[in-house]
Amino acid sequence: MTTEPDKTDYKNTLCLPQTAFPMKANLYQRETEILRRWHEISLDQLIARKPSGNGTYILHDGPPYANGHIHVGHALNKILKDIVVRHRTMLDYHSPYVPGWDCHGLPIEQKVTSELGPKKASMTPLEIRRLCEQYARKWMKVQSEEFQRLGVGGMWDKPYLTIDPRVEASIVRALGELTARGYIYKGLKPVYWCVNCQTALAEAEIEYENCVSPSIYVKFPVCEPESRAATAGLLNPGIVIWTTTPWTLPANLAVSLHPDFKYVAIRVKTPRSSGDFQSDAKGDAEDWIVAKDLVDAFVKDADLGDTEIVREISARDLEHMQLEHPVQPGRTSVVVLGTHVTLDQGTGAVHTAPGHGIEDFIVCQEYGLPTIVPVDAAGRFTSEFQLMEGMLVWEANGPIVRYLDEKDILIRHKPYEHSYPHCWRCHKPIIYRATEQWFMNVDHDDLRKKSLAEIDASIKWIPKWGHDRIYNMIAQRPDWCLSRQRVWGVPIPAVDCKACGKAVLSPDVIAKFAAVVESRGTNAWFEDEVEAFLPDEFKCPDCGAREFDKEHNILDVWFDSGSTHVGVLESRPELRSPADMYLEGSDQHRGWFHSSLLISMAIRGKPPYREVLTHGFVLDGKGEAMSKSKGNVIAPQDVIKKYGADVLRLWVASQDHGDDDKVSNEILERVGEAYRRIRNTIRYLLGNLCDFNPATDTVPYEELTEIDRWALHQLHELVVNVARAYDEYEYHKIVSLTHPFCVVRLSAVYLDVLKDRVYCSGAKSHPRRAAQTAQYEIAQALLRMLAPILVFTCDEAYQLLDAETPSVHLRSYPQPPDRWRQPALAAEWERLLAVRADVLGALEDARKEKKAIGQSLEARVVIATADKTLMSLLTPRRDDLADLFITSQAELAAEPPAEDGAITRLQGERAHVTVYHATGSKCARCWKFSPSVGGGLSHPALCDRCADVIRRHY
RNA sequence: GGGCCUAUAGCUCAGCUUGGUUAGAGCGCGCCCCUGAUAAGGGCGAGGUCGGUAGUUCGACUCUACCUAGGCCCA
């Protein structure tokens, strides 16, 4: 450059930021392009081949259910897993992620059959199963695409499905091992039963409708009242129950009282049961036992008239007492205690028929009472209730009520309207009926005890309370009912002896079946005759007969997913068991964590995982559950369209997962702001590094300026703190560490102060290279630190920082050199920045009150202090203070000057800062004011520094 | 009804484990500056008494009990 540039031309001599990294992210489109690039370079395979000096880290995917599009909960879960896996990968672990799907189960079967409508009746189980499989595969593919669109990396071309024949075979074999070890037995359990369809129903197949039932109070007379203190002396005592299902009375075995309630005997003057109190002639009094708190309600509801309390009795004093059975002559009913008894309705004494109610069943089991089921599959009484054998239960209510009345134990009978479960298909009322089911004995071989011990000792639960949650569940759970009367699932290969009816579940049959499944899938059970699965010489263990029927139960789907540690972790060469981590929502303490632990403990004697990380549920902005009816659902697909997957991922990271996660438009808007801020910081760094070649331009640490070293110290601290947050899975801390770093440390201080040096010093000058060196390190660290979270953005930016590396995801977590850590320097700078804050405050006053300055370069500041500590801090840096404050001039003085400037307090009352307009003229190039402007002959519009730069470099 | 959990500025989070300065940060908001990070950047400022109540204590956001609201899982 030979002629003097005019004012505007000086701009061309500046090094302003330049970058291809756009400010506007346009993420929705850009992410798609990045995904395509990853596919083209086979990024997943490159990652798999990345050096892994720290061994393997296995996060085992809990399989989502393959129906419907993914919702935010799925997105949250998969993104968290992705962050864990990517972070481990950057820590130089080999961390293959194999996504899975849960494909069997009622929801799919229900959906498929309801779409079939009446056609279903003419279809075979096999045909329905094929449709279910199609349905599952269709949604698995949809979800796979949706998960990948979130930036979740993994072996999407080789996922595991619970309908893979090999996985199915492993599920069957797991059942076989449990059987061989004696965990499996056949027992009774009450299930919903439709007597019209003659089938068991699941909870999801029940619809509640209002209907009218008989409501009756019935007295159970005490046998031999004089033999017990509690009832001795009472008049013809009895315990009164209330029920709306008289037909279940034949199955009654007990009367339940609450162990903590108070009971009383009330004396009733006219104990007639017809309800016609007027015609009573006997005038006898009787003593009836009911809960004290329900006396008034009972007396009123049963129209008993005057009564009096004659005695208070504790439930415990009645325990084991024998009562006369109301409808089974010669039998008795026994008093038991159970906490399921409530004071909501009735008498506080509950008619208990274990064959017809789950709570009844449980309390009777505790007392060792048998389960009798006097009702057959068609809903007719069996010989177990000879009085009305063959009668349909719904028709038996009337006769039973009359029978009670004749026995003089019916107290009151009214119609009662309430909501009652009905069959979703035929809309007829359903009953509870105990049926034969296959169970896993949770206490066999101390399984429960051993599991609890492992929960205590060897598994890390994150957050900690996960321990208490699953511990209590395992400690209290009943035996696991494994069988379902459905078609879409893994068959339980049990056979029934044609001769004696014995149900046989044999490890040998299971083994033979599993071998078939391995090659043909579980459809074989429906396709082949039973003989195909019977080993040679197989005979009934009870009667020795050789003819059998196949059973048609399938396994609970929780057994499918609960055994994936066998079928997936142990079976895949790239995986292993136990996994390092299972990571799911906190509902899985009851679900997958629970089922996986029990199966693994039973057949392997060890847990399937080392750490269990749980997250909460996604709620709306008010903290309430999202639902279609509330209209507060936020779909991940919409978030991606509007903000991009990286913003969704940043939202995931920003939430504390120790409790539930809230999402709303405002929250996403805030996250979007944070994203833009981080993105812009990165963009600016890249812009300043446009001509920086780290191989040739890096300035040695010792030659950096003080503020560069301060910045690297801050970076060191950030990297260490972020590393800790990653290690502890506290990703929200990463966001709340990194974002303020970008804003407060970089934008507001370091990068702002640096502008003069970067723009004006001359492209290849040492001061500029020093600033670039620090900025390069910051960019490197920032991009690599954030890569597991902002997978797309960091990848895109890293391409511009380091074109040699195919992707940032192939790099390792940053390891800043120890010498960057300068705590003494940092402490001094904290004080220096406090001074700076006060100066900026004074500048603001000067701007506002005196209108003395506009931009800060128009100012000259004088800091006056007598404080020696402060002086010793500032004096050695007096030549750098103007730059630090981004003013043109800064001076130190011992005394505050006269009051011709704006004065503010500084550092308590130890110093004052005075703001003047800067002296000299404004340099056309660097915009700083300087007395030297105009002094140079060749560049009269420039200050000395700029004139020198121009001379040397242009 | 039971088990586990949550409740700090409009939003996301600190602080509370070891009770004691004017409860912090960023975002957002208001005002101002800049126009050489520009659908950017900088500065200043206003917002919480810590879900409620009752206790323990000289003193509680921090400990205890109860209540309310909400979440998951059971019943």
Give pLDDT tens digits for A98-127.
999 999 998 999 899 889 888 888 899 999
> How far is the C-alpha of A938 from the C-alpha of A950, rounded, in Å?
10
pLDDT class of A894 with cuts at 50, 70, 90: confident
Identify the pLDDT of residue A896. Answer: 75
Tell me the CA–C1' distance in angstroms for A514 and B53. 63
Say which residue, A316 or A637, is predicted with more confidence. Answer: A637
pLDDT class of A277 with cuts at 50, 70, 90: very low
Protein residue closest to B38, using CA and C1': A23
> How far is the C-alpha of A685 from the C-alpha of A675, rounded, in Å?
15
Distances from the Cα of A655 to the Cα of A24, A80, A438, A493, A667, angstroms: 25, 11, 43, 46, 10
Q: Is the pLDDT of residue A276 over 60?
A: no
Q: Is the pLDDT of residue A947 over 50?
A: yes
Tell me the CA–C1' distance in angstroms for A624 and B24. 28
Instruction: Specify the amino acid at residue A152.
Output: V
> How far is the C-alpha of A293 from the C-alpha of A300, rounded, in Å?
13
DSSP A392: B
Q: Is the pLDDT of residue A270 over 70?
A: no
Identify the pLDDT of residue A899. Answer: 63
Closest CA to A792 of A90, A78, A98, A148: A148
Give pLDDT tens digits for A587-597.
999 999 999 99
Protein residue closest to B72, using CA and C1': A587
pLDDT class of A341 with cuts at 50, 70, 90: confident
Highest mean pLDDT among A146-155, A248-257, A330-339, A349-358: A146-155
Tell me the CA–C1' distance in angstroms for A341 and B3. 18
- Mean of per-residue pLDDT scores for chain A: 92
Protein residue closest to B44, using CA and C1': A844
Q: Is residue A695 packed enough to be buried (19+ CB in 10 Å), middle (13-18) or exposed (0-12)? A: exposed
Identify the pLDDT of residue A230. Answer: 85
Q: What is the CA radius of gyration of chain A?
A: 40
Residue A470: which nucleotide is closest by CA–C1'?
B4
- Strand B bases with any atom < 7 A from protein Cβ: 1, 3-7, 10-14, 25-28, 32-45, 70-75
Highest mean pLDDT among A159-163, A541-545, A829-833: A159-163
Tell me the CA–C1' distance in angstroms for A314 and B66. 27
pLDDT class of A581 with cuts at 50, 70, 90: very high
Residue A472: which nucleotide is closest by CA–C1'?
B3
> How far is the C-alpha of A375 from the C-alpha of A434, rounded, in Å?
9
Say which residue the tokens 């142990």 belong to.
A570
Tell me the CA–C1' distance in angstroms for A576 and B43. 57
Residue A630: which nucleotide is closest by CA–C1'?
B70
Q: Is residue A700 packed enough to be buried (19+ CB in 10 Å), middle (13-18) or exposed (0-12)? A: exposed
Among A193-202, A351-360, A537-546, A808-817, whose mean pLDDT is lowest?
A193-202
ipTM of the complex: 0.97
Q: Is the pLDDT of residue A133 over 90?
A: yes
Protein residue closest to B42, using CA and C1': A748
Give strand pairing partners of A421: A208
> How far is the C-alpha of A270 from the C-alpha of A285, rounded, in Å?
6
Pairing of strands A59-60, A579-585: parallel
CA angle A507, A508, A509 (to 5 degrees): 95
Among A192-201, A238-247, A322-331, whose mean pLDDT is lowest?
A192-201
Q: How many C-beta neighbours within 10 Å does residue A142 have? A: 15
CA A145 to centroid of chain Cα atoms: 21
Q: Is the pLDDT of residue A861 over 90?
A: yes
Residue A836: which nucleotide is closest by CA–C1'?
B43
DSSP A857: G
Helix (H) or strand (E) holding A476: helix A466-476
Average pLDDT score over residue span A334-347: 87
Identify the pLDDT of residue A935. Answer: 82
pTM for this one?
0.92
Q: Is the pLDDT of residue A421 over 50?
A: yes
Helix/strand/coil (H/E/C) assignment for every residue in A619-678: ECCCCCECCCCCCCCCCHHHHHHHCCHHHHHHHHHHCCCCCCEECCHHHHHHHHHHHHHH
Residue pair A515/A473 in contact by the 8 Å Cβ criterion? no
Residue A473: which nucleotide is closest by CA–C1'?
B3
End-to-end CA distance of chain A: 5
Q: How many C-beta neighbours within 10 Å does residue A864 have? A: 18
pLDDT class of A23 with cuts at 50, 70, 90: very high
Tell me the CA–C1' distance in angstroms for A661 and B29. 25
Tell me the CA–C1' distance in angstroms for A681 and B6. 35
Q: Is the pLDDT of residue A524 over 60?
A: yes
Identify the pLDDT of residue A853. Answer: 85
Identify the pLDDT of residue A3. Answer: 42
Among A273-282, A297-306, A375-384, whose mean pLDDT is lowest?
A273-282
Q: DSSP per residue over A201-223, as a string?
A: E-GGGEEEEEEEEEEEEEEEEBS
Pairing of strands A495-497, A548-550: antiparallel
Protein residue closest to B35, using CA and C1': A855
- A815 φψ region: left (φ > 0), alpha (ψ -120 to 50), beta (else): beta
Residue A476: which nucleotide is closest by CA–C1'?
B3
Q: Is the pLDDT of residue A279 over 80?
A: no
Residue pair A486/A552 in contact by the 8 Å Cβ criterion? no
**Coil, strand, or helix at residue A608?**
coil
Give pLDDT tens digits for A808-833.
999 999 999 999 999 999 999 999 99
Identify the pLDDT of residue A655. Answer: 96
Give pLDDT tens digits for A176-186.
999 999 999 99
| A493 preceded by a cis bond (ω within 30 of 0) | no
Tell me the CA–C1' distance in angstroms for A285 and B22. 76
Tell me the CA–C1' distance in angstroms for A787 and B41. 25
Tell me the CA–C1' distance in angstroms for A177 and B9. 58
With b meaning 16 or more CB within 10 Å and e meaning fewer, what string describes A751-782? bebbbbbbbbbbbebebbbbbbbbbbbbbbbb
Residue pair A187/A434 in contact by the 8 Å Cβ criterion? no
Identify the pLDDT of residue A571. Answer: 96
Tell me the CA–C1' distance in angstroms for A617 and B70. 12
Greatest C-alpha distance within chain A: 134
Give pLDDT tens digits for A582-622.
999 999 999 999 999 999 999 999 999 999 999 999 999 99
Among A385-399, A453-467, A654-668, whose mean pLDDT is lowest?
A385-399
pLDDT class of A212 with cuts at 50, 70, 90: confident
pLDDT class of A417 with cuts at 50, 70, 90: confident
Helix/strand/coil (H/E/C) assignment for every residue in A270-292: CCCCCCCHHHCCCCCCEEEEEEH
Residue A590: which nucleotide is closest by CA–C1'?
B73
Distances from the Cα of A795 to the Cα of A37, A677, A789, angstroms: 11, 17, 11
Residue A614: which nucleotide is closest by CA–C1'?
B72
Helix (H) or strand (E) holding A448: helix A447-457
Tell me the CA–C1' distance in angstroms for A468 and B56. 28
Alpha helices by DSSP H, listed for A218-366, are 295-301, 358-366
Closest CA to A252 of A347, A136, A373, A166: A373
Residue A623: which nucleotide is closest by CA–C1'?
B70
Distances from the Cα of A300 to the Cα of A218, A267, A341, A347, A500, angstroms: 15, 14, 21, 12, 54
Residue pair A555/A522 in contact by the 8 Å Cβ criterion? no
Residue A11: which nucleotide is closest by CA–C1'?
B36
Instruction: Specify the amino acid at residue A904.
Output: T
Residue A674: which nucleotide is closest by CA–C1'?
B27
Closest CA to A152 of A56, A89, A80, A70: A80
Identify the pLDDT of residue A419. Answer: 83
Tell me the CA–C1' distance in angstroms for A840 and B42. 10
Tell me the CA–C1' distance in angstroms for A755 and B29. 29
Give pLDDT tens digits for A902-942.
566 666 667 888 899 999 999 999 999 999 998 878 889 99
- For chain A, percent of residues with pLDDT exceeding 90: 70
Identify the pLDDT of residue A908. Answer: 63
Tell me the CA–C1' distance in angstroms for A740 and B45. 20
Average pLDDT score over residue span A895-908: 66
**Coil, strand, or helix at residue A531?**
helix
Residue pair A789/A738 in contact by the 8 Å Cβ criterion? no
pLDDT class of A407 with cuts at 50, 70, 90: confident
Q: Is the pLDDT of residue A345 over 90?
A: no
Tell me the CA–C1' distance in angstroms for A844 and B50. 33
Protein residue closest to B75, using CA and C1': A340
Residue A740: which nucleotide is closest by CA–C1'?
B26
Give pLDDT tens digits for A743-762.
999 999 999 999 999 999 99
Protein residue closest to B5, using CA and C1': A659
Average pLDDT score over residue span A710-731: 97
Among A95-109, A345-359, A462-476, A801-815, whose mean pLDDT is lowest?
A345-359
Protein residue closest to B6, using CA and C1': A659
CA angle A590, A592, A594 (to 5 degrees): 50
